[in-house]
Amino acid sequence: MKDMKWIFLFYAVLAVLAMAGIGFSISLRNAALGFFFLVFLFFIMGIGFQTKKKWREEGKL
């Protein structure tokens, strides 16, 4: 693991925090907050996959 891709680590940490937020909202029994974290999770993962595709096409990966 010579060349660390820090942006992907950042996206992964945000996704984990969103998953933790979903669990937190379940514990509070707050559906609106759970929905927010679910949408945030899909958004972050989508950005991560788009970035990975773009970098693969550019030959950076």
Say what the pLDDT of residue 1 is. Answer: 60
Say what the pLDDT of residue 61 is. Answer: 83
Rounded CA separation 44/16 (Å)? 10
Tokens standing for residue 29: 């029994």
Say what the pLDDT of residue 3 is. Answer: 84
Q: Tell me the whole-structure pTM to 2 decimals.
A: 0.87
Q: What is the mean pLDDT of each run of 10 residues along the chain (61 residues)?
A: 87 98 97 97 97 94 83
